[in-house]
Chain A
Amino acid sequence: MRQLKRLVWAMALAGLVAGTGCRRQHPLTVETVEEEGPPLVSVVHVADPRATPQLLRGFYDIEHNSWRWTMGKFSVTLRPPAGAATKGATLQLNLTMPEPVISRLRSVTLSASIRGVALDPETYTKPGDHVYSRDVPAASLAAEAVTIDFALDKYLAAGAVEQRELGVIVTQAGLIPK
């Protein structure tokens, strides 16, 4: 069996090397396993795979090692920072409003709610980077972790541009101490 394998390999590789040169386009993934990550964090970089469990729903895969597309609704779980249960905190969502989205939808309104309390929405009419920032009352942060639900009033339905339903591009979500 081993001889047969060698023979086939030799023949195939000879042909390949002679014709176009043999190169592997994909680097081998050597480190497939890492040590355990930290527990829940207050600020989530969506491109950090360790943050994956905190991106509860509505997020697509990491793209270009830096950001993720969302769906029309998406949710993140965050750990309130120290002192937030008495002083409150600031919710910040770093997002990019993509040009194809704005050009098709004209305007997109982002709203958020945290443990049932609605935060003021914000409407975006220009493409580019934006920060959605809202104060969160202390009463909403008296827990070990809180889930923030985001919703867009308009988004690109599945099939409009590609097979996925597309909302906005998000790079980071966090609760910042006051």
Chain B
Amino acid sequence: MTGARRATLLSIPVVFSLIVYWPGLWTWFQQDDFAWLGLHLELSKPSGWLHALLTPMAQGTIRLWSERLFFLVFHAVFGLDALPFRIAVFATLGLNLALVGDIAWRMTRSQAAMVLAPLVWAANPALGVPMSWTSSYNQILCVTFLAGALCCFLRYVETGSRRWYLAQWIVFVLGFGALELNVVYPGLALAWALCCARHRIVSTLPMFAVSGVYTLAHSWISPKPASGPYAMHWDLSMPETLGRYAITAFGGSRLAELPQAKEWATFGQASAWLLAGAVIGFLGWSLWRRRFRDSFGVLWFLTLIAPVVPLRDHFSDYYLTAPAVGLGLLAAGAWASATRVASRALVAAAACVYAGTSAPVGRAIAEFHYDRSRKVEDLVMGVQAAGRIHRGKTILLTGVGTDLFWSGVHDKPFRLLGLHDVWLAPGAEENIRAFPELGSVSDFVFPAGPALRITEKRQAVVYAAGGERLRNITGTWLALARLRWKPGPASRVDAGHPAFADQLGSGWYDLESGYRWMADRAVVWLGGPGQPGQQIHIKGFYPEEGLAGGPLRLTVRIEGIPAGNSAVEKPGAFEFRFALPPATVGRARLEVELELSRVFVDPKDGRRLGAAFGILEIR
């Protein structure tokens, strides 16, 4: 087969995937994207590069290529223009389709199978998320390394050339920078060797040592949690989870999620079970005929899904992205083993049913992310425009619904534009559904009293989100706020924000950028607790130079009554909480006194510094 013919054939799945995931090309940023886009803010700090590239983040992962460098480099070049990011994802998918096609070709020597395998993979709805959400690029890039390494291994098996063996090693090792799932690659290579190249089994074994070392190192750096969604359950739930993934891999089971395809839901569900049955039947037939090569796709699927099967409480559809390649290879194997017209027609029909029930789901997922990201873009760009108009003013937002908050506010996109004074207006949280496992909505709400005060003084503006345009509704909001709230002391004070200055008593220095130093003793007034059982939460920062004389102690008194004390032993951020004296319940205003057992002298200006704050809150 000529290179031109191969390229022409492989362009079919590329065009197909472009059509299916077209909205994904145009999605903007959302959710975790903003956390990764904010990585560059770390670079200006001491050891910033080291921290940005190598500190474990997001469940203790270090994905150098797919997250750290991808976002750092693209943001440095393109800023908040999402299209280049998306083009990179689509280009990587194109490469993956070619690699999967190459594996299928070497498996079957069939041109039709070479096209069928990447087509079937591209149709899988698991690709919907990574093809429309930039943070999940790791799933796509992981396949590049897995399929790339396997292609090298297949060439090594065919030619015996040590160059290909070495190339496989390089791709394999680099793959750890894409996704931890890369750890199972030796299993893939061994599976291939067991199926069709038993004389190469030994050559795969050293890679297991590398994966073992990686697993140990990863477990040491980020120990697995014993509870929560990422806890691993090595029990009888595993077969159930595996079965759930296996059925979900056939997109028909997810047709019910599409409002426009409700009437097809039963057909979709039935097709998923039928296709699963067909796969089992084909697997049995292949094993009976000892055509192990044709069923390699099953081993691919099982090998790659295995690491997430113990995650009983964290079922994610996009975890199927890499395993679903196995379905493509299985289809290729089935086509190659079907020698009669009738059996080929059966394989083609099964592939059509699969694609017909799967691709619409992937498309719908891409459209969902597209729509959501554009709302986020409207909000973020609107706030940027508002920030330009109202320089130096606090921006308060209303009309931010549940989805917009969790996809476009919670991950703090505004700091990427240099806007650090953007908040939800008080009351806006009442239209946002809480997900405590994701974070706190209240942390983003500006307290009512200070909000009213600074809006009255024209130091804040209020904008309504939710439509295509952000609208300035300061007048309407203020009229309503005057009726709802009184400009009394807030129960949450940000000592680093000028709006709260009148709640700070003696012992505070001037405001600095986002924080404020206290001396050895400082007073702050907070709105009292509305109900028993509430606590005072204190967040601050203590510098290394202040700890030269050993740990020091922070004592808190409320209305003159000792509430507690804690030792500050390490430099950096600290967070303490103390129970409130019962007598304080129902009081409109509480005087909170903070006292540090020691201060240090700032060598620059001779100030006697205690600690920097920070949030002080009663909740």
Give the Cβ gap from B481 to chain A, nearest Cβ, in Å: 8
Chain A residues near B43 (CB-CB < 8 A): none
Nearest to B384 among chain A residues (CB) is A32
Asked whether any CB of chain A lies closer than 8 Å to the CB of B561, the reply is: no
| Chain B residue, CB-CB nearest to A144 | B483
- Are A53 and B476 in touch, CB under 8 angstroms? yes
B469 to chain A: closest CB distance in Å? 6
Q: How far apart are the CA atoms of A1 and B402 in the complex, in Å?
A: 39
Contact of A36 with B483 in the complex, beta carbons under 8 Å:
no
Check A37–B87 contact: CB distance below 8 A.
Answer: no
A34 interface neighbour in B78, B462, B471, B484, Cβ under 8 Å: B471
Residues of B within 8 A of A65 (CB): 467
A56 at the binding interface (Cβ < 8 Å): yes
Closest residue to B373 on the A side, CB-wise? A26
Cβ-defined contact, A5 with B78, below 8 A: yes
Asked if A36 and B389 sit within 8 Å, CB to CB, the answer is: no
A24 at the interface (CB under 8 A from B): yes
The smallest beta-carbon distance between B514 and chain A, in angstroms, is: 26
Smallest CB–CB gap between A84 and chain B, Å?
Answer: 16
A8 and B377 alpha carbons, distance in the complex (Å): 23
The answer to whether A40 touches B87, judged by C-beta atoms less than 8 angstroms apart, is: no
Minimal Cβ-Cβ distance residue in B for A30 = B469
> CB < 8 Å: which of B87, B382, B464 contacts A53?
B464
B467 near A62 with CB under 8 A, answer yes
Considering the chains assembled together, what is the distance between the CA atoms of A1 and B75 in angstroms?
12
Interface residues of B in 75-89 (CB under 8 A from A): 76-78, 84, 87
Does the CB pair A29–B26 fall under 8 Å?
no
- In the complex with contacts A61-B466, A77-B480, A25-B26 CB distance below 8 A: yes
CB neighbours of A62 from chain B (8 A):
466-467
Contact (A54, B480) CB under 8 Å given A25-B26, A31-B469: yes
Cross-interface CB contact of A57 among B18, B78, B431, cutoff 8 Å: B431
Hey, which chain A residues are within 8 Å of B78, CB to CB?
A: 5
Chain A residue with Cβ nearest B399: A52
Q: Are A50 and B464 in contact (CB under 8 A)?
A: yes
Q: Assuming the A-B contacts A29-B382, A32-B469, A50-B476, are A56 and B26 also in contact, with contact meaning beta carbons closer than 8 angstroms in the complex?
A: no
| Chain B contacts for A12, CB-based, 8 A | 84, 87, 91
**Cβ-defined partner of B370 (8 Å) among A20, A25, A53, A145:** A25
Q: How far is the CB of A157 from chain B (nearest CB, A)?
A: 13
Cβ 8 A contact of A29, one of B15, B469, B475, B484: B469
- Chain A 1-39 interface 0/1 with B at a Cβ cutoff of 8 Å (1 = within): 100110011001000100110001110010111111111
Chain B residues with CB under 8 Å of A49's CB are 399, 464-467, 469, 471, 473
Given contacts A5-B78, A39-B479, A58-B431, whether A25 and B23 have CB atoms under 8 Å apart is yes
Q: How far is the CA of A32 from the CA of B379 in the complex (A)?
A: 9
Which residues from chain A contact B471 at a C-beta distance below 8 Å? 33-34, 37, 49-50
State the Cβ distance, B92 to closest chain A Cβ, in Å.
13
What is the CB-to-nearest-CB distance from A101 to chain B, in angstroms, rounded to a whole number? 15
Q: Does A9 lie within 8 Å of B84, measured CB to CB?
A: yes
Q: Which residues 453-501 in B have Cβ within 8 Å of A in the complex?
A: 462, 464-477, 479-481, 483-484
> Does A60 touch B at the CB level, under 8 Å?
yes
Would you call A67 an interface residue if the criterion is a C-beta within 8 Å of the partner chain's C-beta atoms? no
User: Hey, what's the 0/1 contact readout for A100-138 against B, CB within 8 Å counting as 1?
Assistant: 000000000000000000000000000000000000000
Scoring A12, A65, A144 by chain B CB atoms within 10 A of each residue's CB, the highest score goes to A12
Check A53 against B477 for contact (C-beta < 8 Å): yes
Complex-state Cα separation, A164 to B406, whole angstroms: 14
Q: Smallest distance from the beta carbon of B23 to chain A beta carbons, Å?
A: 7
Report the separation of the CA atoms of residues A58 and B468 in the bound assembly, to the nearest whole angstrom: 21
Report yes or no: B382 in contact with A36, Cβ–Cβ below 8 A: no
| Of the residues B18, B382, B480, contact of A145 by C-beta under 8 Å | B480
Is B386 positioned at the interface, with any CB of A under 8 Å from its CB? yes
Structural contact, A8 and B399, CB atoms closer than 8 A: no
With A33-B385, A52-B466 as known contacts, state yes or no: A4 contacts B399, CB within 8 Å: no
Residues of B contacting A38 with CB < 8 Å? 475-476
Name the interface residues of B53-87: CB closer than 8 Å to any CB of A.
76-78, 84, 87
Closest to B477 in A: A53
Question: B543: CB under 8 A from chain A?
Answer: no
A56, chain B: closest CB distance, angstroms: 6
CA distance A161 to B386 in the complex (A): 37
The minimal Cβ–Cβ distance linking B122 to chain A, given in whole angstroms, is: 15
In the complex with contacts A5-B78, A52-B399, A144-B483, A29-B431 CB distance below 8 A:
no
CA distance A59 to B384 in the complex (A): 26
What B residues does A33 contact at CB under 8 A?
382, 385-386, 389, 469-472
| Residues from 347 to 401 in B contacting A, C-beta threshold 8 Å | 370, 374, 377-378, 381-382, 384-386, 389, 398-399, 401
Determine the distance from Cα of A37 to Cα of B430 in the docked complex, in whole angstroms.
22
Chain B residues, Cβ within 8 Å of A20 = 18, 22
Residues from chain B with Cβ under 8 Å of A52 in the complex? 398-399, 464, 466, 473
Given A29-B468, A33-B389, A55-B431: A8 and B77 within 8 A (CB)? yes
Assuming A32-B382, A34-B469, is B18 touching A19 (CB within 8 A)?
yes
Say whether A26 contacts B480, CB under 8 Å. Answer: no
Task: Encode contact with B along A46-80: 1 for CB under 8 Å, 0 otherwise.
Answer: 00011111111111111001000000000001000
Q: Which residues of B contact A25 (CB under 8 A)?
A: 23, 26, 370
Q: How far apart are the CA atoms of A59 and B430 in the complex, in Å?
A: 9
Q: Are A8 and B469 in contact (CB under 8 A)?
A: no
B404 within 8 A of A: yes
| A53-B472 Cα distance, complex, nearest whole Å | 11
- Which residues of the other chain, A, contact B473 by a CB distance below 8 angstroms? 36-37, 49-50, 52-53
When C-beta atoms are compared, the residue in chain A nearest to B87 turns out to be: A12
Q: Would you call A60 and B431 a contact (CB within 8 A)? A: yes
Q: Collect the chain A residues with CB atoms within 8 Å of residue B433's CB.
A: 164
A-side residues, CB < 8 A to B, are 1, 4-5, 8-9, 12, 16, 19-20, 24-26, 29, 31-40, 49-62, 65, 77, 143-145, 164
> What 9 A-B pairs are tightest by C-beta distance, nearest first?
A57-B430, A52-B399, A32-B385, A32-B382, A52-B464, A49-B467, A39-B479, A61-B401, A49-B464
Q: Would you give 15 A-B contacts (Cβ < 8 Å), ordered by A? A: A9-B84, A24-B26, A25-B26, A33-B382, A33-B385, A33-B389, A38-B475, A38-B476, A40-B479, A50-B476, A52-B473, A53-B473, A60-B401, A61-B403, A77-B483
